[in-house]
Structure 1
């Protein structure tokens, strides 16, 4: 299958993967033929990319980092609790029965177990083929990234639990921010941005006294928008005073936000978002953590169409865990724009003189 921008898909193409609702219910099955109306509707619903069935890459299988059961359970818990928090007008308390730590603790055990089975594999998380509420899916994605990075760093089970819970609930304070501001489809006014910034401190206050919730998890919510040079919020503290967990979450939070469709902009591709992160190294983000993130995330996801420095075009078909930024590419079109009758593969980890020039939709090939 191939990953294509939704706007570049054409009627007659068939889905390579099912499209799910935020509840995990299948809305469109694998193999469904796209129509012009369906493509337009998917674009309006915020799906920027689709996995499309393709004969040249029909052997390509995309594995998710979490089992379906774990993903659905996690999103259900997030949706259920977050919605109840939104309906509670009080900013001081949102969990009278104190079930938050227990409920999300059980979810975190499932996530940690699933990720343990995928250790050594580059994580590939793109919100493709999923209709979702941004806040819910974003919370889960940041948790997966941060927990995986904690594993790579050698954290023990208790440390992973504290980091994972902090990542899963880092944006809990947004449940107490005006929903119209959160979903505004354009730039925020200075006053609106000041309101949004309150979510970090609100999140800390909501979590810090919750039973079965590590205090460090509450500090993750408090500090995930702090930056190395002190330009962050809410306190403007600098690198030495920001907890390590919050630094991991800052990187994961920024990356996932950039690679997800938002009301005011389209999603970036992973390699574009990574460039933005590296541009902020030293001033916004910790250099070592950004480098570790790059080395453990599939910057060029499976199925992505790329153009090589040689002018050849193809599709990413395998990720090299040791160097995920140099994947295996199946070349489908030669440097002269001719479609190849017999595609071949180039392992960029071995052929160091060749690199990915850019990632985009594949051009119309000329047939000899």
Structure 2
């Protein structure tokens, strides 16, 4: 299979990986020959990349680190929790998290077990799930990334539980903000941006006065937009004034935001998102957290078309654990001429590098 941008798919291409909704129901089945209408449907769903069948890479397949059943369960739990909170509104005292806290903890335990017990690196592009609200999927992705960083940094089980719950609920304040502003396709006005920024305060106020989750979870919501140089919000904290969990979630939050499709822009590929984090390392983000994150993710996903430094072109066939930027490449072209496919392991051929990604 090969990973392609939905805007470059030609009619007649065959979908190689099914697309699901948040309840695990198949929306578009693998094996379907894509028509203009279906391709437009994919684009309208906000899907930037999909896997299609390809004769030269038909033996290349992708396995999801997080099982489909667990992803569906986790997304439904997040949605139910946020929906109940929104329905009840910000009150002096709420018992929703007393009821939902155990379910959230169960989700975190299961996610942590999958990450700890699996040698694969994370590749969220292989998880084609759609929800009716970006916040639900984003919250789950940020939790998975944050837990992966925590595992890499040898956090205790208690710390992993705290940061898992904190990351699942880091954006809870957004449910108290008008969706018209959150989903606005145009640039926000200064007034609208201030309203959006207030989600950190709203989330903190809600979580700090309600039981059912560890008290530090409130600070995950409060501080995940703070930055080391004081340029973040809401309080402009500097350096070690930020809680460790906020530093972790800040990295995970930014990466998922830029690699997810939004109403105002297409998703970046993982290597582009990682470049943003490295550009901000030291000044904006904790370098240790960024390094731990790099070790946890797939930078060049399986099926991605790439060009090597000597001009050869191919498709990422397999990953090398802990060497996220040096995968195995299935070469299909030499100097623009198609050749019989063969593989190069970049972990062993050190004079070659990936110099560009072909999105078509």
Task: Work out whether residues 51 and 129 of structure 1, in 8 Å CA contact, stay in contact via their aligned partners in 2.
Answer: no
Aligned-partner Cα distance in 1 for 2:92–2:282:
35
Aligned-partner Cα distance in 1 for 2:183–2:341:
45
Task: Work out whether residues 332 and 343 of structure 1, in 8 Å CA contact, stay in contact via their aligned partners in 2.
Answer: yes
Matched ranges for 1:140-155 at <5 A: 140-155=140-155
Q: Determine the structure 2 residue equivalent to 1:22.
A: 22
Aligned-partner Cα distance in 1 for 2:303–2:59:
11
User: Normalising to structure 1: TM-score of the pair?
Assistant: 0.94
How far did 1:55 drift?
Answer: 1.7
Aligned-partner Cα distance in 2 for 1:312–1:160:
43
Q: SS at 1:246's partner residue?
A: helix
Task: Work out whether residues 92 and 209 of structure 2, in 8 Å CA contact, stay in contact via their aligned partners in 1.
Answer: no
Equivalent of residue 355 in structure 1, options 353, 356, 359: 353
Aligned-partner Cα distance in 2 for 1:280–1:254:
11
How far did 1:48 drift?
Answer: 0.8
Task: Work out whether residues 22 and 75 of structure 2, in 8 Å CA contact, stay in contact via their aligned partners in 1.
Answer: yes
Q: Determine the structure 2 residue equivalent to 1:270.
A: 270
Of structures 1 and 2, the one with the larger relative CO (CA 8 A, separation 6+) is 2
Match status 1:168 vs 2:175: no
Q: Alignment RMSD, CA only?
A: 1.5
Bigger mean CA deviation after superposition, 251-260 or 92-101 = 92-101
Equivalent of residue 344 in structure 2, options 340, 343, 346: 346
> Which blocks of at least 5 consecutive residues in structure 2 are unaligned?
none
Matched ranges for 1:208-227 at <5 A: 208-227=208-227
Deviation per CA, 1:233-278: give whole Å up to 9, x if none.
1111011111111101100100000000000111011111111111
Q: Determine the structure 2 residue equivalent to 1:366.
A: none
Aligned-partner Cα distance in 2 for 1:94–1:69:
30
Bigger mean CA deviation after superposition, 269-278 or 128-137 = 128-137
Matched ranges for 1:239-254 at <5 A: 239-254=239-254
Deviation per CA, 1:10-57: give whole Å up to 9, x if none.
111111100111222111111111001110121122111111111211
Aligned-partner Cα distance in 2 for 1:97–1:6:
39
Q: Determine the structure 2 residue equivalent to 1:311.
A: 311
Aligned-partner Cα distance in 2 for 1:100–1:237:
31
Matched ranges for 1:1-368 at <5 A: 1-90=1-90, 92-93=92-93, 95-96=95-96, 98-118=98-118, 120-126=119-125, 129-132=128-131, 133-334=133-334, 336-340=335-339, 342-361=340-359
How far did 1:85 drift?
Answer: 2.3
How far did 1:80 drift?
Answer: 1.2
Aligned-partner Cα distance in 2 for 1:112–1:320:
22
Q: SS at 1:317's partner residue?
A: strand
How far did 1:160 drift?
Answer: 0.6
Aligned-partner Cα distance in 2 for 1:288–1:115:
19
Task: Work out whether residues 226 and 236 of structure 1, in 8 Å CA contact, stay in contact via their aligned partners in 2.
Answer: yes
Task: Work out whether residues 63 and 126 of structure 2, in 8 Å CA contact, stay in contact via their aligned partners in 1.
Answer: no
| Paired residues, number | 359
> Which blocks of at least 5 consecutive residues in structure 1 are unaligned?
363-368
How far did 1:146 drift?
Answer: 0.6
In the superposition, relative to structure 1, how do residues 204 and 264 fare at CA in structure 2: closer, same or farther (>3 Å)? Answer: same
Q: SS at 1:98's partner residue?
A: helix
Aligned-partner Cα distance in 1 for 2:138–2:317:
26
In the superposition, relative to structure 1, how do residues 188 and 292 fare at CA in structure 2: closer, same or farther (>3 Å)? Answer: same
User: Normalising to structure 2: TM-score of the pair?
Assistant: 0.96
Aligned-partner Cα distance in 2 for 1:227–1:127:
30
Bigger mean CA deviation after superposition, 88-97 or 168-177 = 88-97
